[in-house]
Amino acid sequence: MNFKFLNKYFHFTKQQRIGIFMLFVIMISLQLFYLFSDSNISETKSAEKEEWLALQSEIDQEKLINTNAKPAVYLFNPNFISDYKGYKLGMSVEEIDRLLVFRKENKYVNSAEEFQKVTGISDSLLNKISPLFKFPDWKQNKSNSTTEKKEFSIKSFPKKEKLAILDINQATKEDLMKIYGIGEGLSTRILKQKEIFGAFVSMEQMKDVWGLSPEVINELNSHFKVVIPSDLKKINVNEASLKELAQFSYFKYGLARQIVIYRSMNGNFNNIEDLAKIKDFPVEKAKIISLYLEF
């Protein structure tokens, strides 16, 4: 068979032959580059995968340890059980109320048996929660329960000196430091809080002072009272500007803004109940807040 007619298709000039040769060189070079680089990438990925699997194994082991770990158990003084704490312990509402009534008389329980006597909890519940009770180390057991409660009360808050009941708005740093548990730092913090408000209007505000324990607050309530000054500067909630409302400690900027908007759209507020309709208003402090406002 004669293939001479195909010669014209394979006849190239010198420049064309060089070009074809260079093309082949480039194609072979790319193939070699892809082959070796792919191998390196695979090795890198394999090393990274092994490292990740090792790390994941450590994480899984740590999770297993944390899962098997027993939760920490904290001891507490049963004299200061809150409603929520009592509920978590399994006490009924009536049992919690009996303890709260007992404590309002400024009395304290000094043993698990006395706790059961006051609250009326069952033996099974007492056996369950009594290992968590922690009474003060200095507690002395007395045969007479009345004497024991009185001794507990006195030693729980030893006083530096006998104090008369004073107006906390007139108290000095030295007056406050006479309370057991209050040093220079806490007394300064209380006076600073009073300065911010202009005056205290309720002893409940002691709970908002950072660092005061329930025991120290009880002592403050025993030796101080609140006399609202006649010259206490109040905020007219219907006339105050956004800036003035936002500067009030019980209002944040967002709440102050909502008050101004509500006032503009619905008219003046008549009482604290109207104000409590605002979203995010701290209803639990409404009584205290109302004493700083005028309508």
Mean pLDDT of 257-276: 91
Look at residue 59 and tell me if it is in a domain. no
264 and 208 part of one domain: no
The pLDDT value given to residue 13: 79
Quick: pLDDT tens for 122-131.
988 888 888 8
Q: Where are the alpha helices (DSSP H) in the chain?
A: 14-68, 83-89, 93-104, 112-119, 123-129, 145-156, 173-177, 184-197, 214-223, 242-246, 253-266, 272-275, 286-290
220 and 189 part of one domain: yes
Residue identified by tokens 């180390």 is 137
Look at residue 93 and tell me if it is in a domain. yes
Look at residue 1 and tell me if it is in a domain. no
- The domain boundary, picked from 131, 156, 181, lies at 156
Comparing 27 with 153, the larger pLDDT belongs to: 27
The pLDDT value given to residue 203: 94
How far is residue 228's CA from residue 206's CA, in Å, rounded to a whole number? 15
Flag whether pLDDT at 215 surpasses 80: yes
Look at residue 110 and tell me if it is in a domain. yes
Comparing 150 with 61, the larger pLDDT belongs to: 61
> What's the total number of domains in the chain?
3
Domain that holds residue 249: 235-294
138 and 201 part of one domain: no
**3-class SS at 240?**
coil
Quick: pLDDT tens for 100-148.
888 888 888 888 898 899 889 898 888 888 888 887 765 544 444 455 4
260 and 279 part of one domain: yes
Flag whether pLDDT at 34 surpasses 50: yes
CATH number at residue 215: 1.10.150.320
152 and 134 part of one domain: yes
Which pLDDT band holds residue 62 (cuts at 50, 70, 90)?
A: low
The pLDDT value given to residue 176: 94
99 and 149 part of one domain: yes
Prediction pTM value: 0.45
How far is residue 99's CA from residue 44's CA, in Å, rounded to a whole number? 68
